[in-house]
Structure formats: C-alpha cells, structure tokens
Amino acid sequence: MSQITLKDMAAKPDLLCPGARLCAGCDESIIVRMVLKATRGPTIVTNATGCLEVATSIFPYTSWDLPWIHSAFENTAATASGIEAAYKAMRKRGEGPLAKYPQLDVIAFAGDGGTYDIGLQALSGAMERGHDFTYVLLDNEAYMNTGIQRSGGTPFTAATTTSPAGQVIPGKLEWKKPIDDIVIAHAIPFTATINAAWPLDVMKKARKAFEIEGPAFLHAITPCARGWRYPPEKTIAVSRLVVQTCVLPLYECRQEGGDVVYELSAPSLAVAKRPESKKPVEEYLQVQGRFRHLFRPERREDLLKAIQEGVDKRWSILLKKAGL
C-alpha cells in the first residue's frame, strides 16, 4: 500500500467543500472528507438519497469538487456498478471520455437506511459481481434525513421516532443487523470499520480500499447529535466511545489465498491487549438521549445487562476471528 501521512493529507485540499447544510457536529462530513483525502486521482462519487446528499447538493450549489451523482435511495451500489462498467468498457475499447485514466476510484456513499435496508439487494448484487468500487456506509443508526426513524442499523433499545421509548416498549426491540458479517460473507477482498476519532486509520483504510481490485466496504460509525441526542461538540468523544466500549471495534477483514483474515486495528488491538481498559457500555449509553429511558425514571438493569452481554459476545467472537 502506498504511504499515507497526516502531513500530506492535511496539505491536500478538501474535495467536500465547506458550506454544506449538514447539522453542526455532523460526523458524516468529517468521514467523507477523510475518505476523499485518500483518493489517488481521478474519482467519481455516487451518493444515496440521505442527509449527505440533500445537504451538499441544493441546486444551484454543490459542495462536491469532484464528479458526483445522486440518482436514488436504494441503488447506490448499482449506480456505482454502471460507472465502473462504463470505465472498464472505455478502457478496453481505448475510446470514450474515461479511457485516458489509468485508474479511477469509484466511491459510493450511503447511509444505514440505504445499506442495511432498502439498498441491501443492490449492494449484495454489486459485491457478488465483483465491481471494483469502494462502498462507504455512513452509519448513524437511523433514518436521520426523514427525522430519526428506526432502521436495520438502529441498536437494541435505542429510541427513534418509529421505535419510541414508551410506557410499555423501551425503544427498538430488535438488535442491530450484523451488516459487516453479511458483507464479509460475500467474500469481497476488503472490509473495514472506520471511525472519525482515528483519522489516519480512516485514510489508510480508504486508500487500501481504493487500491484493492474488486469491491471494498468501509463501515463508518457516524454519530448524529440530533438523532442520538447529545451536544454537537461531543461528536468525536461519542465516536471514540464506540471503539473504547467495543460497540463497533476497529478492524479490517481481508480475503487472502482463500482464507478470511481478520485484523484488529491499533485502537481496538490496544483494548484486546489490555482487557481492563475496555470501558463499560454504560459510559457510551448514558451520554446519549436516545438511551435515556435505560436510566430514567429508573435504571433498567435487565436491558443494560443485555446490551453489555451483547457487546461482550460480539467482541469475543471478533477476538476469536482475529486469533486473539
């Protein structure tokens, strides 16, 4: 892999420009800027319907300083397939406007709704067909653009506007869909989790995703101040807790000679080496209003225990997979 340094990346201009209408404290623009810093040159971006799309493209303005297309919600991976196929055809023929580029990074950005739910079919199809593109899941764990409705990516007990914490039902009753396992089961060459609290890790993984031939999947956890109910200036702190509590550890998964290789990234490897440093999930939950009902009016020990056990179980499975 080519070298990525913070110094070089900081010097590179942002391809998602300032001035977008995203909320204060939005994690999506942070992740997107980091991912785009890692591009190698000619790049085409396709974007699912969602916060990022509506807030960066209100005609006649645009925040994108690279070729960008939004067509619909559920089809980002299919649109990316077409872009990649067009590039391949032009290269093969030696003709057409993209034929002159020796490489092209094709990136698809989609939210959790556009990935876990409505876009899963198109994503599965595109991965199965093996298109050379990078899919970036911006997972803020609900349909934030339409006003915080639950998705397949919403975690257990989180309150959303369609899984409210009521007198009887304590938020979402279902567990978060294991999207990374689903993606990895497609045997694509590269899958990784990314987190804005570790910028260099984001950019290194993004560069790796671009360089690898075939589909690559980057799962970014993107805390949402509005939907998760925390003060906007706490985005990175909340993001960091996601890893420190092992709610979504940082790791990558590669296919190597028929083997599936899991490798913990430095921040999560540190937790694995010093298990006592693993923070209780409660620290993560209690800073977010969407979990307030787990603490008030009374502590829901049963639910807190279930959530902690769920995190521990998934963490131990991951450690096993990573040979730790």
Which residues contact other proteins (rule: CB under 8 A)?
41-44, 46, 53-54, 57-60, 62, 64-72, 74-75, 77-90, 92-93, 95-98, 101, 104, 121-122, 124-126, 128-129
Q: Measured from the CB of residue 34, what is the shortest distance to other proteins in angstroms? A: 19
* 32/104 with CB nearer other proteins: 104
Q: Measured from the CB of residue 143, what is the shortest distance to other proteins in angstroms? A: 17
* 96/231 with CB nearer other proteins: 96
Cβ partners under 8 Å of residue 4, min gap 6: 38, 200, 203, 204, 207
Q: Could you give the 3-state DSSP secondary structure of residue 273?
A: helix
Give 120-135 as a DSSP string: HHHHHHHHHHT-S-EE
Q: Measured from the CB of residue 59, what is the shortest distance to other proteins in angstroms? A: 4
* 57/288 with CB nearer other proteins: 57
Q: Measured from the CB of residue 19, what is the shortest distance to other proteins in angstroms? A: 12
Q: Measured from the CB of residue 57, what is the shortest distance to other proteins in angstroms? A: 3
Give dist(CA 219, CA 135) in Å, integer: 8
How many Å from the N-terminal Cα to the C-terminal Cα in the chain? Answer: 25
Q: Measured from the CB of residue 237, what is the shortest distance to other proteins in angstroms? A: 31
* 60/323 with CB nearer other proteins: 60
Structure tokens at 141: 């764990």
Cβ–Cβ < 8 Å for 56, 62: yes
* 52/246 with CB nearer other proteins: 52
* 87/198 with CB nearer other proteins: 87
CA dihedral 93, 99, 100, 102 (to 10 degrees): -90
Give dist(CA 64, CA 220) in Å, integer: 20
- Which has the closest alpha carbon to 282: 261, 260, 257, 309? 309
Q: Could you give the 3-state DSSP secondary structure of residue 232?
A: helix
